[in-house]
């Protein structure tokens, strides 16, 4: 794919990541903590996948941590250890926030609390901001 098409694809994924983060905030405000956690995870997954598309690579899977670990240009990520920590937190929100059989005897709404959602949104916001900055550097001609 051309650089322009890669950038356009990355921007689409990043826009969707921003929308998911907005949805997570609405859900947090409405005290729907499990759902807010899930949308925080989705935001980060899509933000990191945007970087994969930017460098003309094909991301696979849903683990934010793995997407960071296997990113083809990981050496260009500042503070990759923080990204991995955020990913590890957010990956815990992928399945058990949505399915009652992902947790022993309780529903996601009974298990996830406000502090879970706040931590998830904080991690997602930091990853989204970092991914956006990387895309902005590329748009300015300073990336890759």
b/e 104-132 (16+ beta carbons within 10 angstroms → b): eeeebeebbeeebbebbbebbbbbbebbb
Alpha carbon distance 28, 134 (integer Å): 27
Q: What is the DSSP letter of 76?
A: G
Count of structural domains, the chain: 1
User: Can you tell me the distance from the alpha carbon of 52 to that of 111, in angstroms, rounded to the nearest whole number?
Assistant: 33
Residue 115 covered by a domain: yes
**Above 70 in pLDDT, residue 29?**
yes
User: pLDDT tens digit string along 74-104?
Assistant: 998 989 999 999 999 999 999 999 999 998 9
Which residues are CB-neighbours of 79 under 8 A, at least 6 positions away?
none
Q: Is residue 75 in a domain? A: yes
Give the domain CATH number at 21.
1.20.120.330
Closest by CA position to 78, among listed 129, 39, 130: 130
Q: What is the tens place of the pLDDT at every residue in 118-141?
A: 999 999 999 999 999 999 987 776
In a domain, 144, yes or no: no
State the pTM of this model.
0.94
Structural domain of residue 40, as residue ranges? 3-139
Q: How many angstroms separate the Cα of 89 from the Cα of each of 79, 99, 144? A: 16, 18, 28
Res 144: pLDDT: 44
Burial 78-92 (b: 16+ CB within 10 A, else e): eeeeebbebbebbbe
């Amino acid at each position: 794919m051309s650089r322009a098409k890669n950038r356009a694809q990355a921007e689409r994924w990043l826009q969707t990541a921003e929308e998911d983060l907005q949805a997570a905030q609405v859900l947090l405000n409405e005290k729907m903590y499990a759902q807010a956690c899930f949308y925080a995870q989705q935001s980060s997954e899509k933000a990191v996948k945007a970087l994969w598309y930017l460098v003309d690579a094909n991301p696979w899977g849903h683990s934010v941590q793995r997407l960071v670990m296997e990113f083809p240009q990981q050496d260009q990520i500042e503070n990759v250890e923080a990204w991995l920590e955020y990913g590890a937190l957010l990956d815990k929100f992928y399945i058990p926030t949505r399915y009652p059989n992902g947790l022993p005897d309780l529903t996601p709404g009974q298990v996830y609390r406000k502090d879970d959602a706040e931590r998830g949104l904080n991690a997602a916001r930091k990853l989204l901001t970092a991914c956006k900055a990387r895309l902005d550097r590329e748009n300015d001609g300073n990336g890759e």
